[in-house]
Structure 1
């Protein structure tokens, strides 16, 4: 499927603006390609025999320009372009990507794009692309690959690589074991630094993000770590045990990848060893793996708050409907409930029409206040800062902050209500309702994520929809209820 590699300039990584410029160039070339194809279809009935030859030449010219443009890009930028194109254009560009980039691009693209790319490749191309991958990289792709391709690639692995692949595939998706890699440098503690340096020089290249060398015994049990910076400034005849560090952070393969990301952020790590329950070194996690975890978690959290799952932005309409419709229908029900609450106070609103214009302010401010609290709580849960001991203290703090902010904001709202209604009573009702609904929003902003976490659910999924339901329904009820008691 992919074209053979051709001699090209060294691929370069673009900054975001340059990547977007490259995307614009690709889209322009694809537009010209479509024009040529449309012209060819119109010429099919023409008697001009020279026209097809001109169109074929233009078609080949545009393909050559596309290939030259894409081949000069870094695989990450190729992935960005493929993610930004509709499926048919994506596969057209994918066919022009050099075979030397296939593996890297498949690892860089989002899951929903990878599926369509793999569909466009035949078995031989897939085996060639995945055959050069490391065991941890192959384990990432294995769920999306046909079983016969995985089996074929396994035949070309060594016994050690095959064992690593099976091990990596056996860990849960969101665990440290699923993101760790097996490339690392190990040495013994009883050798000198000069011996270590000679050993490193014999290697083809160091594994990426090698900031420390792992010191193990003959059973591969981790004894310490040797920072590369310390090794370079120490005397060559010094033994490893004299300069290695025994105070280091280790991870277990069953630890959460989010917990590992938090540890990297907290301790400014570049890499960390992964040990099994017997203390044996089985892998390592690098900052590159952690950045991917943080980015994926951030994207999932942003989508979850709106009740969405990740999808191809060019996915078929039916698939998009299945993704978006459930929470939109739920939101429709919550909006209907809020309207039903407001309808119960029809007499009040008919007597004081200005209330119909003011109640949306009460509901909106309550929702915004609750959204601030909810964002803080979800973030704190994600990094593990909330415990049973500090929960009640956190709740009291959020309510106090909301009360103080509500007092300040409600004064402004009351002045606005008084200005347009010329009624101090309406202004006071507006002020009280706004403070009460902001407290409702803050309470819901704390409770919804905490309750979902308590039952093992993602605290972000649908949280904004539930918050809107509470602040709209109760906001209308509080405002119109107070108006009925004190104004009618």
Structure 2
């Protein structure tokens, strides 16, 4: 979550503060923290071991707690807020955007979350409760309810006087939203238009239509795609009755994009994208054991295939030496396809209309690569081992496995997505199991048939 600062500077700061903590120079550390931006303190906390992190949190200015919590990874944030009193946590959320407060409260136990809400003033509590009523991964969970609305029947001069009286604008404001008497969105007025239009011009004459509003139940990944395609800075959010309920800003969308990227990267290793680098040993071991257990089952499936051909392996040492080549090549080729398909699914490039063409394309690539590498590796084996039969066996097995890998690389992510399993989490392991089983079966099966 925390923004990256310069690596050299970050490591140097961490080293200096760690040494100061070890030497008991707490006053010096407090002064250093006071000179740092909240985003940089968040980086420092995430990079610190748990004991040092707790000390640093105590030495940090409480006025910065809210901004720091908003930048922290979920596991780190949860560990810190679990030790804060409800009234202190409520104070920390003062001045934070509604969506950021909701992000902090969602991870708290229900009883603690209710206690924190009870400490807030009525207006803030109602705004946060509205945000909490929507699923976290939707536009409603992403939006901020701090929105400036105006009426279409007033002049530009009235709007300008209202803004001067208000004194400040919410962050990332690039437009004002025009609503009717029922708070239904009817248009938006960009600040550029507002500042360059004659004061006596009615807003209704210069506003843009509200044809780009986001529905409150839109998935956050779809929201990110809209912002990316249309280069928005902010966008209004409406309910099913076209009533304006909030707005989404580019900084929140950047967080979604970054979290999705981290999720995909960490899921491929079976890890939680918000896992604390310095989480307790037993907690980390427990999480990783689940993934390791799944991999054991996949490995046992491949081993059982080898066990079926134990006689062949005992009869020919060359087969045992070469048996890993075919599944390895299939795994690499298949994972390339899986990565491509997962990316296409995430970007919305793959659907019912084009999945057949993609399947045929990847099958053709698998067949073409299969022919190429089957011939090449077959020749190498014949020259190396001097056995033509062995060269033919590995060539046919290679062709078969690369062809199957191309098809499986498309089918597996699509099937996983259809049954609501994250392809990034399970796709690689499922593909490896398929290519191991198919590769070993083809290679050892052919060897058994031709040798005996």
Structure 1: gaps of 5 or more residues: 1-12, 37-58
Q: Does 1:263 align with 2:263?
A: no
Give the counterpart of 1:200 among 163, 168, 174: 163
Aligned to 1:26: 14
In the superposition, the TM-score normalised over structure 1's length comes to 0.85
Q: Judge which range, 367-376 or 344-353, deviates more.
A: 344-353
Q: Where do 1:270-281 residues align within 5 Å?
A: 270-281=233-244
Gapped runs of 5+ residues in structure 2? none
What is the CA distance between 1:254 and its match in structure 2? 1.4
Partner residue in 2 for 1:348: 312
**Deviation by residue 1:270-312 (Cα, 9 ceiling, x = unmatched):** 2111111111111011111111112222222222233333422
Match in the other structure for 2:405? 441
- 2:99 is aligned to 136
Q: Which residue of 2 aligns with 1:42?
A: none
Name which of 211, 215, 219 aligns with 2:182. 219
SS at structure 2 position matched to 1:462:
helix
CA distance in 2: counterparts of 1:395 and 1:71, whole angstroms: 57
Give CA-to-partner distance per residue, 1:235-257, whole Å, 9 cap, x none: 33332222221163111211111
| Partner of residue 442, structure 2 | 478
Check 1:475–1:83 CA distance in 2 against 1; reply closer, same or farther (3 A cut).
Answer: same
Counterpart Cα distance in 1 of 2:379 and 2:160: 75
Aligned partners of 1:250 and 1:275 also within 8 Å: yes
**Contact 1:135 1:162 (C-alpha < 8 Å) held by counterparts:** no
Q: Work out which of the residue numbers 157, 169, 172 in structure 1 matches 2:121.
A: 157
Partner of 1:326: 290
| C-alpha distance in structure 1 between counterparts of 2:328 and 2:116, whole Å | 58
Q: Is contact 2:227–2:233 with CA below 8 Å preserved after alignment?
A: yes
Q: Kindly indicate whether the alpha-carbon contact (under 8 Å) linking 2:342 and 2:413 is maintained by their aligned counterparts in 1.
A: yes
Shift of the alpha carbon at 1:23? 3.9
Q: Is the 8 A contact 1:378 1:459 kept in 2?
A: yes
Cα deviation, residue 338, structure 1: 1.4
Q: 1:14 deviation in Å?
A: 8.2
Where 1:133 maps in the other structure, the secondary structure is: coil
Counterpart in 1 of 2:275?
Answer: 311
| Residue equivalent to 1:50 | none
For residues 442-464 of structure 1, the C-alpha deviation after alignment (integer angstroms, 9 at most, x for no partner) is 22222222222222232222222
Is 1:294 aligned with 2:282? no
How far apart, CA to CA, are the structure 2 residues paired with 1:443 and 1:24?
A: 49
Q: Give CA-to-partner distance per residue, 1:50-107, whole Å, 9 cap, x none.
A: xxxxxxxxx3xx2233222222222122111111111111111111111221110011
**Do the aligned partners of residues 210 and 485 (structure 1) sit closer, same or farther apart at CA in structure 2, a change above 3 Å counting?**
same
Give the Å deviation of 1:389: 2.5
Could you say which residue in structure 2 is the equivalent of 1:96? 59
CA distance in 2, matches of 1:336, 1:384: 35
Contact 2:98–2:146, Cα closer than 8 Å, also in 1? no
Q: Distance in 1 between matches of 2:20 and 2:121?
A: 44
Could you tell me which residue of structure 2 aligns to residue 458 of structure 1?
422
Residues 1:339 and 2:303 aligned together:
yes
Distance 1:128 1:380, change over 3 A: same
> Corresponding residue for 1:246?
209
Offset, 1:150: 4.3
Would you say 1:366 and 2:326 are equivalent positions?
A: no
CA distance in 2, matches of 1:230, 1:132: 29
State the Cα distance separating 1:135 from its structure 2 match.
3.2
- Change in 2 beyond 3 A, CA 1:484/1:186: same
Q: By how many angstroms is 1:116 displaced?
A: 1.4
Please tell me whether the aligned partners of residues 106 and 113 of structure 2 are also in contact (alpha carbons under 8 angstroms): no
Rounded to whole Å, the distance in 1 between the matches of 2:34 and 2:383 is: 65
The equivalent of 1:170 in structure 2 is: 133
Query: In the alignment, is the contact (CA less than 8 A) between 1:370 and 1:467 conserved in 2?
Result: yes
Please tell me the root mean square deviation across aligned C-alpha atoms, in Å.
2.3
**Residue 418 of structure 1 corresponds to which residue in structure 2?**
382
Query: CA–CA distance in 2 between the matches of 1:17 and 1:252?
Result: 38
- Contact preservation (8 Å) 2:154, 2:203: yes
Q: In the alignment, is the contact (CA less than 8 A) between 1:306 and 1:463 conserved in 2?
A: no
Equivalent runs, 1:221-240 vs 2, <5 Å: 221-240=184-203
Deviation, 1:180, is 0.3
**After superposition, what is the alpha-carbon deviation per residue over 1:103-136, rounded to whole angstroms, capped at 9, x for unaligned?**
1001110110011111343444323212343433
CA contact (8 A) 1:126 1:149 kept: no
**Which residue matches 1:409?**
373
Aligned residues: 449
Match of 1:381 in 2: 345
In structure 2, the CA distance between the partners of 1:156 and 1:344, relative to structure 1 (3 Å rule), is closer
Alpha-carbon distance in 1 for matches of 2:117, 2:307: 66
Q: Distance in 2 between matches of 1:151 and 1:421?
A: 74
Paired with 1:322 and 1:386, the residues of 2 have a C-alpha distance of 35
